[in-house]
């Protein structure tokens, strides 16, 4: 097909009008039929999409597994499509999730994720980039988390709750405790939110993308202020991992065809609270509670784009959707933590990975594996596990960002001794086989039994205690830091 013919072909079909100039190359790309072009011609109903996903899982069973993880308030099934060369298996590969349609009137992500899934199946293993994604990662696609809102064509779910204000993030709880007026989004988590939280906590997601519409920008935490303010505007609220969040937000914006050239947002990225504050959002909950670094992507200036815009949106996002998880998942710090047992055997252990100067930690998987998102630079990393002597390593993440660092830790058993962890983390004391988690800043003291290798319920207690500690310490830290910056800004 000639370029002229391709151009004519598009004019006949109806060229999307968005005030942007098309290159002949992009017009030609749009005119070439592909296995996923039918997915970009219209919006599927919930029923048709569920049927397509189930058919896909059968057709592409070598690289996928479909799972149901709950139901919406209206009873619609919530589905997650895992894509990997080892679907359904627990491996050391980093896990990612892409979530679309949390707002019912922002549906383009539904079709984009289906197109992505089709590409990852039909072009594997012939396409080298596709092969690398499928072989290197576990990628979970959730095309809709608000099927009822989509069906009714409005933002909220069937109970008229904005799901992206319904997550129980710690900043939201602080706002309510300090006298903030509760709204209809502040009640118990809706079925969709609860199902997604449970699903997230069953995994160890390294990072996540939430696909929205209404602007063109990559938004990163924090979305709210420690004091729960709505009136504060234009002031950035950085997270402890601000440098790394800015880095991965720029990774997406630069791989998108037009996002980085935004005139409204420098470089096509923004801090959430600096744009406008919100509480109970999925993004902050993922970071503070699940240890997952999520970005909120606004992918189109207008909500509910016309169907003839979908193919262009796919071309704008295709490279970013494929390359972003590779850059994030294979860059940064990776490794495993093992402990020397009573008989000098070496086994995986659950441990906390702390980075000096960043008061937000992650934990390993039950298999002792960890993936820590870090921007290029030099870091001091300490690994801590109850019953073991902590271990510290200095690492350098290369400037190219695409090359990660792998550091494996083997911890020796600790006798009747006490290790003082970094102040931003915790102190563990084991003179009698117990674990004590202490935060002087928050007045927290948590004790649980330990025998070196924790039983499942003991691991859970230790993990929950650490999460409470880290979140509380972060809020206290930000309050102290912002008390000065807020005064200077007024």
- Output the pLDDT for position 77: 98
pTM score, two decimals?
0.81
Would you say residue 351 has pLDDT above 50? Answer: yes
Q: What is the pLDDT of residues 300-330, one digit of tens each?
A: 999 999 999 999 999 999 999 999 999 999 9
Q: Where in the chain is the domain with CATH 2.60.40.1120?
A: 333-489
Q: What is the pLDDT of residues 66-81, one digit of tens each?
A: 999 999 999 999 999 9
- Output the pLDDT for position 362: 97
- Which residues participate in catalysis according to the annotation? 298
3-state class (DSSP) for residue 172: helix
Half-sphere exposure of 327 (CA within 13 A, CB side): 21
Torsion, CA 124, CA 130, CA 132, CA 134, rounded to 10 = -60
State mean pLDDT over 89-99. Answer: 98
- Output the pLDDT for position 443: 32
C-alpha pair distances (Å), 224 with each of 41, 112, 172, 232, 271: 37, 29, 8, 10, 10
- Output the pLDDT for position 3: 42
Q: pLDDT band for 53, please (50, 70, 90 cuts).
A: very high
The answer for residues whose C-beta is within 8 angstroms of residue 395's C-beta and 6 or more apart is: 333, 378, 379, 380, 381, 405, 407
Q: How would you classify the pairing of strands 405-406 and 333-340? A: parallel
Q: What is the pLDDT of residues 438-462, one digit of tens each?
A: 333 333 333 333 333 333 444 443 4
C-alpha pair distances (Å), 352 with each of 130, 243, 361, 366: 33, 21, 7, 12
Minimal CA–CA distance to 346: which of 386, 384, 388, 383?
388
pLDDT, greater one: 99 or 14:
99
Q: Where in the chain is the domain with CATH 3.40.630.10?
A: 33-330
Q: pLDDT band for 472, please (50, 70, 90 cuts).
A: low
- How big is the chain by its Cα radius of gyration, in Å? 23
pLDDT, greater one: 181 or 201:
201
Would you say residue 420 has pLDDT above 50? Answer: no
Other CB atoms within a 10 A radius of the CB of residue 358 amount to 18
Question: What is the C-alpha separation between 358 and 477, in angstroms, rounded?
Answer: 11
CB contact at 8 A, 397 and 405? yes
pLDDT, greater one: 416 or 38:
38
DSSP 420-483: E--TTT-EEE-TTSEEEEEETTTTEEEEEE--SS--HHHHHHHHHHHHHHHHHHHHHHHHHHHH
Question: What is the C-alpha separation between 123 and 130, in angstroms, rounded?
Answer: 7
Minimal CA–CA distance to 452: which of 465, 432, 433?
433
∠464-249-41 over CA atoms, to 5°?
A: 105
Task: Phi first, then psi: give them for residue 373, nearest 5 degrees.
Answer: -70, 125
Would you say residue 417 has pLDDT above 50? Answer: no
Classify 333-489 by CATH class. mainly beta
- Output the pLDDT for position 343: 74
State mean pLDDT over 369-388. Answer: 97
State mean pLDDT over 352-362. Answer: 98
- Output the pLDDT for position 265: 98
Beta bridge partners of 369: 336
pLDDT, greater one: 307 or 173:
307
CB contact at 8 A, 355 and 378? no
Q: Which of 226-230, 277-281, 401-405 has the highest mean pLDDT?
A: 277-281
C-alpha pair distances (Å), 419 with each of 30, 176, 327, 351, 412: 61, 37, 35, 14, 13
CB contact at 8 A, 78 and 71? yes
Classify 33-330 by CATH class. alpha beta
- Output the pLDDT for position 222: 98
């Amino acid at each position: 097909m000639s370029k002229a013919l391709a151009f004519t072909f598009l004019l006949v079909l109806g060229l999307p009008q968005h005030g942007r100039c098309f290159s002949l190359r992009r017009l030609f790309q749009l005119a070439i039929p592909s296995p996923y072009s039918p997915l970009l011609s219209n919006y599927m109903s919930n029923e048709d999409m569920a049927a397509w996903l189930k058919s896909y899982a059968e057709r592409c069973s070598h690289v996928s597994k479909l799972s149901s993880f709950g139901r919406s308030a209206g009873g619609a099934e919530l589905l997650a499509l895992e894509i990997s060369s080892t679907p359904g298996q627990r491996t050391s590969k980093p896990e990612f999730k892409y979530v679309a349609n949390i707002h019912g009137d922002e549906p383009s992500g539904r079709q984009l994720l289906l197109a992505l899934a089709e590409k990852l199946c039909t072009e594997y293993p012939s396409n080298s980039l596709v092969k690398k994604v499928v072989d290197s990662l576990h990628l979970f696609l959730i095309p809709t988390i608000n099927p009822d809102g989509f069906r009714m064509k409005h933002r909220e779910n069937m109970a008229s709750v904005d799901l992206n204000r319904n997550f129980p993030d710690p900043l939201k709880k602080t706002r309510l405790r300090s006298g903030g007026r509760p709204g209809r989004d502040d009640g118990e988590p809706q079925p969709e939110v609860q199902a997604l939280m449970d699903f997230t906590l069953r995994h160890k997601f390294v990072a996540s993308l939430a696909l929205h519409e209404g602007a063109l920008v990559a938004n990163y935490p924090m979305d709210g202020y420690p004091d729960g303010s709505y009136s504060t505007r234009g002031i950035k609220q950085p997270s402890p991992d601000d440098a790394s969040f800015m880095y991965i937000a720029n990774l997406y914006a630069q791989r998108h065809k037009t996002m980085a050239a935004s005139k409204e947002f420098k470089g096509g990225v923004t801090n959430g609270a600096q744009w406008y504050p919100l509480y109970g959002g999925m993004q902050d909950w993922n970071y503070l509670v699940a240890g997952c670094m999520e970005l909120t992507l606004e992918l189109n200036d207008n909500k509910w784009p016309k169907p003839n815009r979908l193919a262009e949106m796919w071309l704008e996002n295709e490279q970013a959707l494929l390359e972003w998880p590779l850059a994030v998942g294979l860059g940064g710090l990776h490794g495993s933590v093992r402990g020397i047992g009573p008989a000098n055997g070496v086994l995986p252990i659950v441990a906390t990975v702390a980075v000096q100067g960043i008061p937000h930690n992650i934990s390993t998987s039950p298999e002792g594996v960890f993936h820590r998102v870090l921007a290029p630079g030099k870091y001091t990393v300490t690994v801590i596990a109850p019953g073991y002597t902590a271990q510290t390593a200095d690492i350098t993440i290369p400037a190219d960002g695409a090359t990660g660092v792998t550091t494996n830790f083997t911890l020796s058993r600790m006798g009747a001794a006490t290790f003082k962890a970094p102040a931003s983390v915790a102190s563990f004391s084991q003179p009698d086989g117990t674990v004590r988690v202490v935060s002087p800043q928050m007045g927290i003291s948590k004790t649980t039994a330990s025998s070196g290798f924790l039983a499942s319920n003991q691991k859970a207690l230790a993990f929950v205690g650490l999460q409470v500690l880290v979140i509380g310490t972060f809020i206290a830290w930000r309050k102290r830091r912002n008390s000065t910056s807020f005064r200077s800004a007024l």
